[in-house]
Chains A and B, each alone.
Chain A
Amino acid sequence: MVVPYKPYGQLALLVLCLPPYRIIRGVDIFLQQVANGLTLGSIYALVALGYTLVYGILGLINFAHGEVVMVGALTALAASKFLLAAALPPAVVFVLAFLLAAAVCMALGIVIERIAYRPLRNAPRLAPLITAIGVSIILQQLAMMLWGRSYHAMPQLLPEMAFALGGVQITVIQLVIIGVAGLTMAALLVLVNRTRLGRAMRATAESPSIAALMGVDANRIIVLAFLIGSALAALAGMLVASNYGIAHYNMGFMLGLKAFTAAVLGGIGNLAGAVVGGLLLGVIEALGAGYIGDLTGGVLGSQYQDVFAFFVLIGVLVLRPAGLLGERVAERA
């Protein structure tokens, strides 16, 4: 008799080993990694919402979304420098730079939808996926021509202070990221679940043609999904650039892939899932980067951080393809 090999036991052992291990080395390091993970995770969640909004309504994976984040970050960076030179107070610059980045990204979102996806609305699913990758490459190249290959320093707009909360150091920018992301996501959930517009979005997601018969203009709803997703991408781009202090033309690629992983982890098409998946992935990565050295006896270092996201992606696709909050596959007209 062949017993299928299921390494659940070993995996569980590995996970269970972590907490006691920590007690030996100190709880505060563990909590510090969780705090860092939540910061990173908030950004993943904002980007993942953009993937999931569009997927929920169109059934399309918008692989150019990561590049919209990059454009948002670089626009915010350029705007910040310009506005700071005009001697505006940093807090005002922060808000204005975000608004400008959001405007640029929203315009970009509309153009992408119009040029790359709408003409292929009824084409086989593979076609818009290929154009999505094409758009992604085009945007990267354009950004490289415009901003060059070098890394740009993001001006610090927020006070570089840190609070000590029970042995954990949290910076102002981290608090802002977690707070702003949390509020934005709460607002989005209210919009989708409690308003007429959200109802129209959910109806279109279930069946575009029937929603149209109820007077819902499907194209408007689709454009709206791109608009909201792009604004969230601009926010994420600005926050991630502020957090690390840098932005460059290639930053959207890895961020986009990880946010996509987060969306899949939570259950793509499910908004709450994108939030849960994003936060979880952020924490997994931070803990992984923090402990990979200890776990491998120093053979692998924290530069292998990125590996964890893709282990998670493979794990989810193998064990639970529908994701944690698994969205049913909608029947389409």
Chain B
Amino acid sequence: MTALLEARNIGKRFGGVRALQAVSLTIQRGEIYGLIGPNGAGKTTFFNVLTGLYPRDEGEVIFAGSPLPLGEPHRVAQAGIARTFQNIRLFANMSARENVMVGRHARSKVGVAGAVLRSRAQREEEAAISRRADELLAYVGINARAGDLAKNLSYGDQRRLEIARALATEPQLLALDEPAAGMNATETAALRGLIVRLRDDGFTVLLIEHDIKLVMGLCDRIAVLDYGQKIADDVPAAVQRNPKVIEAYLGTTA
């Protein structure tokens, strides 16, 4: 296996709070990498720095062999990282299909002139984008809802739509921020199947999750954050036995 992503000493402060302190981790190509930690440990902050939403204060990320343009979300997307959100963030007033089509933006070529003149190339690309969007909706299992506005989909379908939209950017790394949050047992089982299929289809997955059972059963490797610092990074069985991790989650027994 080769490293797909290497984060080196990522640091982020919010005023006096050090949300991330020298966090380094390496994600191998083709694995499911879990990132866990108590509430407020810095997991989502790490995601936001990685995907360019927050400027970082220190450190760098090497992605697929070159430095990632941190702080510029659209270039991070073009480099091949896509994400979903803990609190679903779809384009509520656009249809499911259109949401996915926006995701194709990073991989489309025809520019302003083509769009205005509706050139042949533009029309062909548009048709291809629409076809690809339908394929992706089918992949996550919501193709029947393609024409519905995103805000009218059920909660579970909205989560799936977010994944389809992320896939549309043709990511090498798919970052899922608590995808199982708010799901019932059946939905979680289906999600688990989807994540395994993503990995089998060649995507590398970075997973933030609170559902420890899901993470332990699914991930190849797990990093644990606590107060903005990485306290463990190992295979699931070893992380589960790590005293520092147990302490972070359950507190010290005095």
Q: Which residues of A approach B to under 8 Å, CB–CB? A: 191, 195-200, 202-203, 206-207, 209-218, 224, 328, 333
Q: Which of B147-173 contact A (CB under 8 A)?
A: 165, 168-169
Given A206-B92, A224-B112, decide whether A215 and B101 contact each other with a Cβ distance below 8 A: no
Q: Does chain A have a CB within 8 A of B229?
A: no
Report yes or no: A191 in contact with B107, Cβ–Cβ below 8 A: no
Report yes or no: A209 in contact with B53, Cβ–Cβ below 8 A: yes
In the assembled complex, 28 residue pairs joining A and B whose CB atoms fall closer than 8 Å, in A order, are A195-B118, A195-B122, A195-B126, A196-B101, A196-B108, A196-B115, A196-B122, A196-B125, A197-B116, A202-B91, A202-B93, A202-B94, A203-B105, A206-B93, A210-B85, A212-B74, A212-B77, A213-B76, A213-B82, A214-B77, A214-B103, A214-B106, A214-B165, A215-B107, A216-B74, A216-B105, A217-B74, A218-B74
Residue numbers in A under 8 Å from B169 (CB-CB): 214-215
Q: Which of B61-95 contact A (CB under 8 A)?
A: 73-74, 76-78, 82-83, 85, 89, 91-94
- Within 8 Å by CB of A213, from B51, B115, B125, lies B51
Report yes or no: A215 in contact with B93, Cβ–Cβ below 8 A: no
Q: Does chain A have a CB within 8 A of B209?
A: no
Q: Does chain A have a CB within 8 A of B129?
A: yes
Residue numbers in A under 8 Å from B103 (CB-CB): 214-215
Contacts A198-B115, A207-B89 aside, 14 further interface pairs with beta carbons under 8 A come to A196-B105, A196-B108, A199-B94, A200-B105, A202-B91, A206-B94, A213-B74, A213-B77, A214-B77, A215-B106, A217-B74, A224-B112, A328-B93, A333-B89
Report yes or no: A207 in contact with B91, Cβ–Cβ below 8 A: yes
Residue numbers in B under 8 Å from A200 (CB-CB): 102, 105
Given A207-B89, A209-B53, decide whether A199 and B101 contact each other with a Cβ distance below 8 A: yes
Q: Does chain A have a CB within 8 A of B23?
A: no
Interface of B is mostly: helix
Report yes or no: A203 in contact with B110, Cβ–Cβ below 8 A: no
Q: Which residues of B approach A to under 8 Å, CB–CB? A: 51-53, 73-74, 76-78, 82-83, 85, 89, 91-94, 98, 101-108, 110, 112, 115-116, 118, 122, 125-126, 129, 165, 168-169
Report yes or no: B89 in contact with A203, Cβ–Cβ below 8 A: no
Interface of A is mostly: helix
Report yes or no: B93 in contact with A214, Cβ–Cβ below 8 A: no
Residue numbers in A under 8 Å from B76 (CB-CB): 213
Report yes or no: A214 in contact with B102, Cβ–Cβ below 8 A: yes
Report yes or no: A213 in contact with B73, Cβ–Cβ below 8 A: yes
- Report the separation of the CA atoms of residues A213 and B175 in the bound assembly, to the nearest whole angstrom: 12
- Report the separation of the CA atoms of residues A198 and B74 in the bound assembly, to the nearest whole angstrom: 17
- Interface centre among A198, A199, A218, by most chain B C-beta atoms within 10 angstroms, is A199
Report yes or no: A210 in contact with B89, Cβ–Cβ below 8 A: yes
Nearest neighbor of A211 in chain B, beta-carbon distance = B102
Residue numbers in A under 8 Å from B98 (CB-CB): 199
Report yes or no: B118 in contact with A209, Cβ–Cβ below 8 A: no
Report yes or no: B89 in contact with A214, Cβ–Cβ below 8 A: no
A332 to chain B, nearest CB (A): 11
B107 to chain A, nearest CB (A): 7
Residue numbers in B under 8 Å from A214 (CB-CB): 74, 77, 102-103, 105-106, 165, 168-169
Report yes or no: A191 in contact with B116, Cβ–Cβ below 8 A: yes
Residue numbers in A under 8 Å from B106 (CB-CB): 214-216
Residue numbers in A under 8 Å from B107 (CB-CB): 215
Residue numbers in A under 8 Å from B105 (CB-CB): 196, 199-200, 203, 211, 214-216
Given A196-B126, A215-B74, decide whether A203 and B91 contact each other with a Cβ distance below 8 A: yes
- Report the separation of the CA atoms of residues A200 and B107 in the bound assembly, to the nearest whole angstrom: 13
Residue numbers in A under 8 Å from B108 (CB-CB): 196
Given A191-B115, A196-B126, A200-B105, decide whether A213 and B91 contact each other with a Cβ distance below 8 A: no
Residue numbers in A under 8 Å from B101 (CB-CB): 196, 199
B31 to chain A, nearest CB (A): 23
B134 to chain A, nearest CB (A): 15
- Within 8 Å by CB of A210, from B91, B118, B125, B168, lies B91
- Within 8 Å by CB of B78, from A195, A203, A215, lies A215
Nearest neighbor of A208 in chain B, beta-carbon distance = B73
Nearest neighbor of A333 in chain B, beta-carbon distance = B89
- Report the separation of the CA atoms of residues A198 and B110 in the bound assembly, to the nearest whole angstrom: 13
